Amino acid sequence: MGKLTKNQKAVIAKYDAAKEYKLAEACELVKEITYTKFDASVELHVNLGVDPRKANQMVRGVVTLPHGTGKTTRVLVLCTPDKENEAKEAGADYVGLDEYIEKIKGGWTDVDVIICTPSVMAKVGVIGRILGPRGLMPNPKTGTVTMEVGNAVKEVKAGKIDFKVDKYGIIHTAVGKVSFTPEQIVDNAKEVVNTIIKLKPSAAKGTYVLSVYLSTTMSPGLQIDPKSVESK
C-alpha cells in the first residue's frame, strides 16, 4: 500500500471501521471525513437478505426524498406533439420523439431520467438495448411510462428516484450531498430504508436488512445500526 496522504490519515483518525454507528451520528461524521473540493454525493448502501436471481425476490421501487437529491436531474420526455407543451411547462430539459431516438441510436445518453407516454413505447423499445444497461429505460412500475408526463417530470425534479437491488443483493442510492445538513441526510436515508422495508418480498426468508452503510463519493463506508434507520 502506498503512503497515506494527510487527509487520509485525518479520516482514519476520525472513524472506527469496526463500529456500528447510529444514523444521526454517521450523517454528521460522513461530512467530516469527506475532503473533496466538490460537493460530493452522499450514498446509502443497503445489503438485503434476498436472492435477486429469483424473480419473486427482486426489490425495486421509487421514493421521493424529502429534501431532494441535491443534484440537477436532466429529464428527457419522449412523446407525441400533443404532450410536448405539458412536458416543457413542467420543466423537462428535452422534449421530442424521433429526433431524440435517432440521437440515442447515435450514442447520445446525456440525461438522468427518460419519461415517455404509452403510445410511443414501441419506438422506445427499439433503443431498449442502449437504455437498459444505463438504467434509463422507461418503466410503468417507476412511473416513467405515463400519460401524466407533466406530473412525472415535476416528481423527478422534486427528488423522486428509483432504486433496484443489484445482483449481489445490494441497493445503492444517493441520499443527498455533503452540503446537506445531517438532519436532511437522516430524513432522506430513513425515507429510502423504510420504503425498502415496505417492499420486502414474501419469498424472502430470514433477516431482510443485513447491513446498511453510508459513504460519500470519496469517503470510506460507515456501518449503520439498521434499527437506527427504521422509523418507528
pLDDT for 1: 46
Q: Please compute the mean of the pLDDT values over residues 178-188 and round it to a whole number.
A: 95
Q: What pairs with residue 200 in β-bridges?
A: none
pTM: 0.78
Superfamily assignment of 20-69+161-228 in CATH?
A: Ribosomal protein L1/L10, rRNA-binding domain (3.30.190.20)
Is the pLDDT confidence value at 232 over 60? no
How many angstroms separate the CA atoms of 89 and 44, rounded? 33
Question: Which CATH code, of 3.40.50.790, 3.90.950.20, 3.30.230.10, 2.60.120.620, is assigned to 75-156?
Answer: 3.40.50.790
Q: What is the pLDDT of residues 79-115, one digit of tens each?
A: 999 999 999 999 999 999 999 999 999 999 999 999 9
Every domain of the chain and the residues it spans: 20-69+161-228, 75-156
Q: Which pLDDT band, with edges at 50, 70 and 90, does 71 fall under? A: confident
Residue 105 burial by Cβ neighbours in a 10 Å radius (0-12, 13-18, 19+): exposed
CA distances to 74, 107, 117, 139, 197 from 110, rounded to whole Å, are 8, 9, 20, 19, 32
Q: What is the pLDDT of residues 44-57, one digit of tens each?
A: 999 999 999 999 99
Q: What is the pLDDT of residues 155-173, one digit of tens each?
A: 999 888 889 999 999 999 9
